């Protein structure tokens, strides 16, 4: 969708971007990551030609951008900046409709779209459409900023540290919202950031920049697991393996189809099952398979009676769709070595263990 | 008391002179807006040009009005208009340039660069940027310049009576030459009232034209 071919930018005697080549597939979120002054923002701004390139070629949707005039090019690319840049003289609605209005699209249709877009970024259109930017908080303003960039439905979105000026709590929320939006709209996004956590969270691919060059261009997991050199390793941080935890869902790390018991089973059955599997505890499920409790091996051994009389409550459970970071955090919080995994309806689907997670994260290192 | 009697008995004449005064100002300010605002916008593109233009406009401001009228007599005599309405308008237009150009220039230069970048990034042409973003945001400050120029012009136009442009200055000049305190006071009072009214109506206009999104931060 976007292809950079030997793109170079020279300011006087300083080479800001040094023959960068990269390709971004449709629907991908590509994060340009690096310390300040590494050329990531300049690279992005050459795509919509806010910065003219010195040499090289950029293709968007297969078209050489040098054959398009600035205005056509920019209107086909959504643009979100850190300083947000909503026009203070226009209402939220008119801000969102700037590009459709410039393109002479029908007013009614674009206003309707503005209302939909506001809903998509979790702002109530009834409340916000007629407000002015100054009446909105920073987080709300940037939600409008994102809506504005999407208004003309461009296939490509450029985002220049869009959530960098927003407080941490709101940032987390707006990142999540954007990811949801992106899952639905599947835009091709180039996203500039200097925050490795943000990059790991948002990116399908990360390009790490240093001194105007791409040092490594790979998936977040590969960058965290196999940094190409000490610069990348330092940049992603010494806790990079921990960061990988958030890239893996519980479902991927889970042991599925675990043994289970129901309330009516004898304790001896539970003990036999645990010994067969080498487990020290077993989950008791309800009649339809919802996780209800747990029976521990040392408590059950040598005792009589049914599971229903001797089970304990589960100290905690984890949803299949949560990431491993949350799972590990839960384990530490509740002093557990394993967690029962349930789906949205509470049905028992499997378990994750500390050993299993360690093994999974270590796999990529053993292969090499 | 005598002044009051004078005002009452000469009411129609005061109104006539007032209208004369006002029309002189209206024409001059209109021309000044049409010239000053574009100049103010243009010089935002070039720092050196801006410095020169603002300097020149400031120099014009320092010329005493009576001297400026004097200067214009030989120049405009070439087209046979050395005295009267035309030199008065020309002088007033010249005096209005500084407040209008300076306010336009400052207002546009003070616009948050992020807005300009956002506008460029969305594919606005320079003209669209001006129309949709820069001028609407600069408008309150520009109108402030117009208000300054208007009040200034109302005072300066009083002097234009000496080159035969009429207006409320007539009462003042006659008051001086005939040592008639009634006429002098009437003229001064009328000029003040006109200045206050003009300023208030422009203030009202300014409030009306400013986007609610820009009001009272």
Closest residue of B to A145, CA-based? B118
* Among A83, A89, A133, beta carbon nearest to B136: A89
Q: Is the separation of the CB atoms in A161 and A194 below 8 Å?
A: yes
Q: Which residues pair with A250 in a beta bridge?
A: none
Residue range B1-5: average pLDDT?
A: 83
Class of residue A135 by CB neighbours under 10 A (exposed 0-12, middle 13-18, buried 19+) = middle
Q: Which domain holds residue A294?
A: 250-364
Q: Is the pLDDT of residue B3 over 90?
A: no
Q: In this predicted structure, which of A9-23, A111-125, A354-368 has the lowest mean pLDDT?
A: A354-368
pLDDT digits (tens, 9 = 90+) for B149-165: 999 999 999 988 888 88
Q: Which residues of A touch B124 (CB under 8 A)?
A: 71, 98, 102
Task: Indicate which CATH number applies to the domain containing A319.
Answer: 3.10.580.10
Regarding whether A282 and A207 lie in a shared domain, the answer is no
pLDDT digits (tens, 9 = 90+) for A204-222: 999 999 999 999 999 998 9
Regarding whether A131 and A232 lie in a shared domain, the answer is yes
pTM higher than the cut 0.90: no
Q: Is the pLDDT of residue A107 over 80?
A: yes
Q: Which residues pair with A351 in a beta bridge?
A: A255, A340
Q: Is the pLDDT of residue A37 over 90?
A: no
Regarding whether A166 and A31 lie in a shared domain, the answer is yes
Regarding whether A254 and A241 lie in a shared domain, the answer is no
What pLDDT is stored for residue A300 in this prediction? 82
* Among B114, B123, B133, beta carbon nearest to A81: B114
State what percent of residues in chain A have pLDDT above 90: 60
Which of A247, A276, A298 lies at the terminal end of a domain, its last residue? A247
Q: Which of B53, B31, B35 has the alpha carbon at shortest distance from B44?
A: B53
The dihedral region occupied by A69, where left means phi > 0, alpha psi between -120 and 50, and beta the remainder, is beta
CB contact under 8 A, A88 and B137: yes
Question: CA of A24 to nearest chain B CA: how many angstroms apart?
Answer: 20
Regarding whether A178 and A243 lie in a shared domain, the answer is yes
Give, in order, the Cα–Cα distances in Å from B214 to each of A98, A215, A348.
18, 45, 57
Regarding whether A260 and A171 lie in a shared domain, the answer is no
Confidence of residue B117 (pLDDT cuts 50, 70, 90): very high
Regarding whether A269 and A156 lie in a shared domain, the answer is no
Regarding whether A237 and A258 lie in a shared domain, the answer is no
Which of A247, A262, A284 lies at the terminal end of a domain, its last residue? A247
What pLDDT is stored for residue A40 in this prediction? 94
What pLDDT is stored for residue A302 in this prediction? 79
Counting other chains too, the contacts that B128-132 makes at CB distance below 8 Å and 24 or more residues apart are B128/A102, B130/B41, B132/A87, B132/A90, B132/A98
What pLDDT is stored for residue A54 in this prediction? 94
What pLDDT is stored for residue B58 in this prediction? 93
Question: CA of A90 to nearest chain B CA: how many angstroms apart?
Answer: 7
What pLDDT is stored for residue A367 in this prediction? 59
Regarding whether A193 and A319 lie in a shared domain, the answer is no
Question: CA of A6 to nearest chain B CA: how many angstroms apart?
Answer: 23
* Among B114, B121, B133, beta carbon nearest to A74: B121
Regarding whether A309 and A218 lie in a shared domain, the answer is no
Q: How far apart are alpha carbons A199 and A221 in whole angstroms? A: 11
The two structure tokens encoding residue A345: 């309806």
DSSP, collapsed to helix, strand or coil, labels residue B165 as coil
Question: CA of B214 to nearest chain A CA: how many angstroms apart?
Answer: 6
Which of A227, A247, A267 lies at the terminal end of a domain, its last residue? A247
Class of residue A134 by CB neighbours under 10 A (exposed 0-12, middle 13-18, buried 19+) = middle
Regarding whether A263 and A243 lie in a shared domain, the answer is no
Average pLDDT, chain A: 91
What pLDDT is stored for residue A70 in this prediction? 92
Average pLDDT, chain B: 92
Residue range A48-76: average pLDDT?
A: 93
* Chain centroid, CA B91 distance in Å: 11
Q: How far apart are alpha carbons A2 and A203 in whole angstroms? A: 15
Interface pTM, i.e. ipTM: 0.84
What pLDDT is stored for residue A165 in this prediction? 87
Q: Is the pLDDT of residue B139 over 90?
A: yes
Regarding whether A159 and A66 lie in a shared domain, the answer is yes
CB contact under 8 A, A50 and B132: no
> Considering its fold, how many domains does chain A have in total?
2
pLDDT digits (tens, 9 = 90+) for A145-180: 999 999 999 999 999 999 988 898 889 899 999 999
Q: In this predicted structure, which of A30-44, A269-283, B122-136 has the lowest mean pLDDT?
A: A269-283
Q: Which residues of B touch A91 (CB under 8 A)?
A: 213
What pLDDT is stored for residue A308 in this prediction? 85
What pLDDT is stored for residue A199 in this prediction? 92
Q: How far apart are alpha carbons A317 and A294 in whole angstroms? A: 11
State what percent of residues in chain B have pLDDT above 70: 99
Asked if A116 is an interface residue toward chain B (Cβ–Cβ < 8 A), one would say no
What pLDDT is stored for residue A298 in this prediction? 85
Q: How far apart are alpha carbons A220 and A236 in whole angstroms? A: 10
Task: Indicate which CATH number applies to the domain containing A172.
Answer: 3.40.50.300
Q: Is the dihedral of CA A82, A85, A88, A94 positive or negative?
A: negative
Closest residue of B to A44, CA-based? B121
Q: Which residues pair with B2 in a beta bridge?
A: none
Q: How crowded is residue B73: how many other Cβ atoms within 10 Å of its Cβ? A: 13
What pLDDT is stored for residue A368 in this prediction? 54
Asked if B128 is an interface residue toward chain A (Cβ–Cβ < 8 A), one would say yes
Asked if B123 is an interface residue toward chain A (Cβ–Cβ < 8 A), one would say yes
pLDDT digits (tens, 9 = 90+) for A234-288: 988 888 888 888 888 898 889 888 888 988 888 888 888 898 888 888 999 988 9
What pLDDT is stored for residue A110 in this prediction? 93
Q: Is the pLDDT of residue B217 over 70?
A: no
């Amino acid at each position: 969708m976007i292809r950079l071919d030997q793109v170079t930018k020279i300011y006087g005697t300083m080479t800001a971007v040094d023959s960068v080549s990269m390709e971004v597939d449709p629907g991908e979120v590509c994060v340009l990551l690096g310390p300040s002054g590494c050329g990531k923002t300049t690279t992005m701004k050459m795509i919509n030609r806010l910065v003219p390139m010195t040499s090289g070629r950029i293709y968007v949707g297969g078209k050489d951008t040098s054959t398009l005039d600035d205005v056509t090019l920019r209107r086909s690319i959504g643009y979100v900046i850190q300083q947000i840049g909503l026009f203070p003289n226009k209402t939220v609605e008119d801000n969102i409709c700037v590009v459709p209005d410039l393109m002479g699209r029908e007013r009614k249709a674009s206003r309707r779209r503005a209302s939909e877009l506001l809903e998509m970024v979790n702002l109530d259109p009834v409340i916000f459409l007629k407000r002015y930017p100054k009446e909105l908080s920073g987080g709300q303003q940037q939600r409008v900023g994102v809506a504005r960039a999407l208004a003309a439905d461009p296939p490509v979105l450029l985002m220049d540290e869009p959530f960098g000026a927003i407080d941490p709590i709101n940032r987390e929320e707006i990142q999540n919202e954007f990811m949801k939006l992106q899952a639905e709209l599947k835009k091709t996004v180039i996203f500039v950031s200097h925050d490795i956590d943000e990059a790991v969270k948002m990116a399908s691919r990360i390009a790490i920049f240093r001194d105007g060059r791409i040092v490594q261009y790979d998936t977040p997991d590969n960058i965290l697991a196999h940094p190409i050199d000490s610069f990348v390793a330092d940049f992603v941080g010494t806790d990079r393996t921990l960061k990988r935890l958030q890239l893996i869902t519980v479902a991927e790390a889970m042991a599925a189809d675990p043994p289970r018991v129901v309330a009516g089973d004898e304790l001896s059955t539970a003990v036999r099952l645990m010994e067969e599997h080498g487990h020290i505890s077993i989950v008791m499920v309800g009649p339809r398979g919802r996780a209800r409790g747990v029976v521990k091996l040392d408590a059950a051994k040598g005792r009589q009676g049914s599971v229903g009389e001797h089970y304990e409550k589960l100290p905690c459970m984890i949803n299949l769709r949560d990431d491993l970071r949350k799972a590990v955090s839960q384990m530490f919080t509740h002093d557990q070595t394993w967690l029962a995994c349930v789906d949205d309806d509470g049905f028992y689907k499997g378990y994750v263990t500390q050993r299993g997670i360690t093994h999974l994260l270590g796999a990529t290192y053993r292969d090499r | 008391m005598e002044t009051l009697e004078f005002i009452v008995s000469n009411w129609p004449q005061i109104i006539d002179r007032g209208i004369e005064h006002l029309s002189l100002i209206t024409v001059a300010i209109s021309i000044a807006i049409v010239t000053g605002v574009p100049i103010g916008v243009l010089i935002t593109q070039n720092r050196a040009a801006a410095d020169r233009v603002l300097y020149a406009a400031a120099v014009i401001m320092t010329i005493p009005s009576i001297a400026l009228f004097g200067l214009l007599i030989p120049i405009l005599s070439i087209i046979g208009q050395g005295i009267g309405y035309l030199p008065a308008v020309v002088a007033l237009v010249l005096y209005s340039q500084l407040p209008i150009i300076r306010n336009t220039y400052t207002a546009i230069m003070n616009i948050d660069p992020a807005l300009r970048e956002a506008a460029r990034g969305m594919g606005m042409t320079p003209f669209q940027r001006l129309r949709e973003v820069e001028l609407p945001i600069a408008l309150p400050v520009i109108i402030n310049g117009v208000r300054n120029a208007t009040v200034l012009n109302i005072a300066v136009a009083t002097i234009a009576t000496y080159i035969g442009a009429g207006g409320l200055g007539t009462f003042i000049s006659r008051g001086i030459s005939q040592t008639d305190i009634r006429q002098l006071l009437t003229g001064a009072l009328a000029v003040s009232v006109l200045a206050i009214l003009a300023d208030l109506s422009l203030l009202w206009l300014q409030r009306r034209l400013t986007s609610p999104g820009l009001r009272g931060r």
